[in-house]
Amino acid sequence: MFYYLFSWLDNVYDFPGAGVFQYISFRAAMAVITSLVISLLFGKRLISLLNKKQVGETIRDLGLEGQIEKQGTPTMGGLIILGAILIPTLFFAKLDNIYIILMLFTTVWMGLIGFLDDYIKVFKKNKQGLAGKFKILGQVVLGLVVGSTMYFSDSVVIREKIPAEKTSGITVKGEMTRAGISSERFSEESKKSTKTTIPFMKHNEADYANLLKFLGEGYEKWAFLIFIPFVIFIIAAVSNGANLTDGMDGLATGTSAIIGATLGILAWVSGNIIFADYLNIMYIPNTGELTIFISAFVGAAIGFLWYNTYPAQVFMGDTGSLSIGAIIAVFALLIRKELLIPILCGIFLMESISVIMQVSWFKYTRKKYGEGRRIFKMSPLHHHFQIKGYAEPKIVQRFYIVGIMLAVLTIITLKLR
């Protein structure tokens, strides 16, 4: 909203300083500051309100050190994160941008799903919360909306690089080339595409439509049969992965902040034609605006971490964990970097894999040997280390270190091919 207000003041009244709102970097910085202020101030009041309403976490006794002390800690703190994301985005982003609209929808939709789950647990005294099938249904609906919009909307486009004509050291459309060398430049026309980015590959673009080449001529028109289900899978996987990671004070929050900062860098370069040209990556017009949203996301996560770090004064609940996972997934999809998720979200991935391995092996051995056996002392993975005797803060800090390493690895894939 401020973008439109100050643009109007600049154009009509030549208001001093109003033109600064045209810059993504300024609006992103303001989004970070605003989200931090909101989460810190609003967070304190919400925690007091949750304590007053006795909206406390019900802890299952798993025999973990320090577990009983967490009984009664306020939950549903994800409302702090959601508010600190939505308000700065509404203030500083271009609200007619299709990518911003999709991110706002993602935040609100999954926030409602998570809130409903927490509400059932806390106020209906049902420890199971919202049935798993309804959570999956919510993720499927989100995937259908995002996937269909990306595939069918004329506002979601990319620019591809095309080879320029060979020259003899002359300038071709403003680009100087060496004699006899073919340069590449971005097409002047945007186009719809189901292409994505493959990490560590020199020619790092792949098209989902190519998986249907066996259908023969005209196979491209059926690409949505591959693309949309893949979008649904990515959203469900990352959202549930974040949910599983939210098992220690500050673990999911801090990890998400690291992931968000990395995605912000990727959005910045993908939405800037100069950086995209230099890095030889796909240029996606208008995605630079996503930098404002992800800046608010990072600020919200860091602000919430103020209260969520060990010993936590509040838990985010499914209101927060389901939302932040979906936000990360949709954001990566919009900037065509979803194949980097196994690297960037490696913490979420390992937490999910540990649960799958544990449950699968337990069921297999119980069927074969008559008694279930375990691979880990407990899953998700962070509880395995807790049972081994590591202090909770040490586990969280070391997971942060791993998350930072994975974030650096993700960023260098821009040039490491």
pLDDT of residue 182: 41
pLDDT of residue 189: 75
245 shares a domain with 392: yes
pLDDT of residue 179: 41
pLDDT of residue 166: 42
Phi, psi of 169 (to 5 degrees): 80, 25
Q: Is 212 among the domain residues?
A: yes
pLDDT digits (tens, 9 = 90+) for 325-341: 999 999 999 999 999 99
Parent domain of 371: 26-154+199-412
Q: Is 9 among the domain residues?
A: no
90 shares a domain with 114: yes
- 3-class SS at 56? strand
Residue 357 tokens read as 């391995």
CA distances from 192 to 48, 155, 157, 201, 391 (A): 49, 9, 5, 22, 50
pLDDT of residue 133: 92
146 shares a domain with 88: yes
pLDDT higher than 80, residue 123: yes
Q: Is 1 among the domain residues?
A: no
Mean pLDDT of 313-323: 92
Angle at 311 between CA 317 and CA 263, to 5 degrees: 55
Would you say 101 and 150 are in contact if contact means Cβ atoms under 8 Å apart? no
Residue 33 tokens read as 């500051």
pLDDT band at 59 (very low <50, low <70, confident <90, very high): low
pLDDT of residue 169: 45
Lowest mean pLDDT among 112-126, 249-263, 293-307: 112-126
Would you say 297 and 253 are in contact if contact means Cβ atoms under 8 Å apart? no
pLDDT of residue 172: 42
State the CB neighbour count (10 A cutoff) for residue 320. Answer: 34
pLDDT of residue 240: 95
330 shares a domain with 182: no
pLDDT of residue 162: 72
364 shares a domain with 279: yes
pLDDT of residue 402: 97
pLDDT higher than 80, residue 168: no
pLDDT higher than 90, residue 346: yes
Mean pLDDT of 161-171: 52
360 shares a domain with 222: yes
Mean pLDDT of 356-372: 92
Q: Is 209 among the domain residues?
A: yes
Q: Is 287 among the domain residues?
A: yes
pLDDT digits (tens, 9 = 90+) for 277-305: 888 888 999 999 999 999 999 999 999 99
172 shares a domain with 76: no
pLDDT of residue 340: 95
173 shares a domain with 316: no
pLDDT of residue 58: 62
Q: Is 417 among the domain residues?
A: no
Lowest mean pLDDT among 9-18, 96-105, 177-186: 177-186
77 shares a domain with 148: yes
pLDDT higher than 90, residue 105: yes
The DSSP string of 314-333 is ---HHHHHHHHHHHHHHHHH
221 shares a domain with 353: yes
pLDDT of residue 63: 59
111 shares a domain with 171: no
| Average pLDDT value for the chain | 87
341 shares a domain with 281: yes
pTM of the predicted structure, to 2 decimals: 0.91
pLDDT digits (tens, 9 = 90+) for 394-414: 999 999 999 999 999 999 998
pLDDT of residue 281: 87
pLDDT digits (tens, 9 = 90+) for 350-363: 999 999 999 999 99
pLDDT higher than 80, residue 12: no
Percent of the chain with pLDDT over 70: 90
pLDDT of residue 171: 42
Q: How far apart are CA 88 and CA 30, in angstroms?
A: 8
pLDDT band at 164 (very low <50, low <70, confident <90, very high): low
pLDDT of residue 174: 41
Q: Is 3 among the domain residues?
A: no
Mean pLDDT of 149-174: 69
Lowest mean pLDDT among 32-41, 136-145, 278-287: 278-287
pLDDT band at 226 (very low <50, low <70, confident <90, very high): very high
Q: Which amino acid is at 217?
A: E
pLDDT of residue 349: 96
Q: Is 353 among the domain residues?
A: yes
Total tally of structural domains belonging to the chain: 2
Q: How far apart are CA 234 and CA 257, in angstroms?
A: 19
Closest C-alpha to 104, from 266, 273, 330: 330
